[in-house]
Structure 1
Amino acid sequence: MKRYDFSACFQRSDELGPYINPRNWIVDFEEVFFNSKAKRADERFHFCTTMIERFSGRPNPVKAVQYQRNLAELFYCTGDSRKGEALYQKIIQKERTNAWNWLDYASHYCAGPFRDFGKALSICAQGLDAIDIMEEKPACFFERETLYKKIEEIYTLLGRKKEASEWREKYMEERQAEVVFCLKMEEEKNIRSFLIKTTRTEPRRQKSPALLAAGSGI
């Protein structure tokens, strides 16, 4: 297997000037390799492993997980579902509440040589279980909505209109709940801001001369 040096993506060039960051090109590389499927498998493999090594252990691990998903997708494209499955298991152990991990994982069983709608639904159900134990916050709604839409899509592919309609309703209800939750948070934020502002601007009450005189005579 030929070796490719994608670490050069991070090297600045004096010719480009100080305002151009080579990291901006990494997204372009990733998109090209992702769309190439298995046509440039060797290059894509080295690109993904280089990026995983580069971003692993950083304060924000999102990038590393993103390239792990890209690599797992490559394994499925080359027919090695065993490696793809193993890598997705590793990914979801670290990032269980990231809906994109579950979504991409399930997608490999919705079409192609590994199509298995039952497995895809099982993966989505596991993802929902993982997300439901999160502390309620705006991100939770998006995560659930993402998987609700995927489940609706799977039932649509199966031709099961009743179940697809039920999950579409769940999705719409979740969207509505998200709006209510965010409005409530915004209202509470405004109330706190108002209270802080009035506390800071309210003048300190001065004791009346009569009270001061009475106090001095005690």
Structure 2
Amino acid sequence: MKLRIFNMLALRAFRGLGNIIGCRSLPSRQLHCSSCQKTLIFERDYELPDGPLYAAKLEKKNHIYRVVSIETGPTELEIILTKDSLEHGVAGEVLSVETEVGRQLIKNFEAAYASPENLAEIASSFTKKSGQTISGRRMLLWLRTREYLTCAMREDVEWTLTPGMAARAFLRYHKLVVPESALKLPDYPITSSDPESWKEHDIGITVNSVDTVAMKMVVVPWTKK
């Protein structure tokens, strides 16, 4: 016969029961449990007698158990986010995270278990509501949390800023890939010879041809790192 003790609270109760009935306690090294997520499997040192089982017929030795093994449960938990987070992702995204992290997010009402019901209700609702893909919503979240984008340009050559040049500058400085067609620059020209060009400008970035984010772009002199 084997018993399973799922956490330290149950383990302490089991030890207390053993003391009450006058049994020999288990060695402390066998009772060690460093995490509440572990399962301890116990086995009787002495098998029970054959035939009908009555408590009156049990001897003290039949109440002595030993630890057979210690099992750890799953280390990852599949969740679905209910709130946007720069650290984890956007609402409606399904993730596999560490068990402790996932339970903490669920406790803070930032995520829910990725059950079939929650997947059908939460994930689909966010996608239909925004019309964006998960990656597109991640990009929108990142852009909206940025104060400005830096466009580093050279001072020793003549240039007039184009969407392609700005896109390459964003790729070098921010590792951000922006198609030329998705980048809208101001109507006035931005040139190297104009001192007013080396300042802050209003631009627009369109994500997946659905949402456009108004951003600030700062033109700064390029320096070799």
Fold agreement, TM-score > 0.5: no
Of structures 1 and 2, the larger Rg is shown by 2
Instruction: Say which structure is richer in helix.
Output: 1
Instruction: Say which structure is richer in strand.
Output: 2
Q: Which has the higher contact order (CA 8 A, sep 6+)?
A: 2
TM-score using structure 2 length: 0.21
TM-score using structure 1 length: 0.22
